[in-house]
Amino acid sequence: MGADVPGQHLQLLLDHQGALDHLPDGGCVINTASINGLRGNKSLIDYAASKGAVLALTYSLAQSFQDRGIRVNSVAPGPVWTPLIPSTFPAEKVEKFGQQVPMGRAAQPDEIAPSYVFFAAPQLSSYYSGEVLAPTGGETLPADPPEAKPVLTRWRTVTTPRTQATCGRPRSARTPRPAPESVAARHGWGWPGQPG
C-alpha cells in the first residue's frame, strides 16, 4: 500500500470536519465507497482498503454528527462506466469491464445517481444514517468467488493432538459413534454428482 493512503483518509476526515462548520443542523453527508470496500479485492488491495476505510468513516461520522441531526451515509457501487476506466485499464480489461456481475454489464453513472438523490432528500431518507446503498448489478454479499461450489458435509470426528485426551482417557479409546445421517440425505436433497 502506498504511504499516501493514510494521508488521504486524514484529508477526508479533515474535509468532513471543515464541512461541519458549514452544514446546517439536519443536513447530510454522502460518501462514495465501492463494492470493493465491502468485500475486498485481491487485485486492488490498496483501493479496497481505502474504500473500506471510507465505510468505517461513514459509520463513525454518523454516530458523531447525530447530535446535530446530520445524516451520514455512503454509496458503494459496483462497476460503473466512468472516464477513469478506459484511461487507466488495458484494452482487454475495458472490453470485459463489468461482465462479472449478475447483470453482465457495468452501470452507467445515471443508474447510480438515484442512490445519491435518495440520501440527499430528507423527505425520502430522514431515518437513514450510517447506511450504505450498494448498487452492484445484482451481486449479493457476502459473494462467493465464481469457482466456489456449495458442499454438504456430514458430521465426523476429527482427531487432533489437542483433542487426544478427554476425561482421562485418549479419545481413540472411546467407542466411536456413527455419523448421523444428514438432513439433506434423509430427504434426498443435494446436488447432482454429490457422493452419498
Active site residue 47: yes
Distance (Å) of CA 76 to CA 51, 52, 109, 187: 8, 10, 13, 41
What pLDDT is recorded for position 103? 92
Distance (Å) of CA 55 to CA 20, 28, 31, 51, 190: 18, 15, 8, 6, 38
- Encoded amino acid at 130, one letter: G
What pLDDT is recorded for position 59? 96
Between residues 164 and 113, which one has the greater pLDDT? 113
Arithmetic mean of pLDDT, 70-78: 96
Instruction: Kindly name the residue from 47, 59, 116, 128 that is annotated as catalytic.
Output: 47
Among the residue ranges 41-50, 126-135, 180-189, the one predicted with the least confidence is 180-189
All domains of the chain, ordered by start, with CATH? 4-133 (3.40.50.720)
Distance (Å) of CA 124 to CA 29, 71, 107, 114, 127: 15, 12, 23, 11, 8
CB atoms within 10 A of CB 164: 11
pLDDT of residue 194 exceeding 50, the answer is no
pLDDT of residue 107 exceeding 70, the answer is yes
What does the angle CA 58 – CA 62 – CA 64 come to, to the nearest 5 degrees?
115
3-state secondary structure of 138: coil
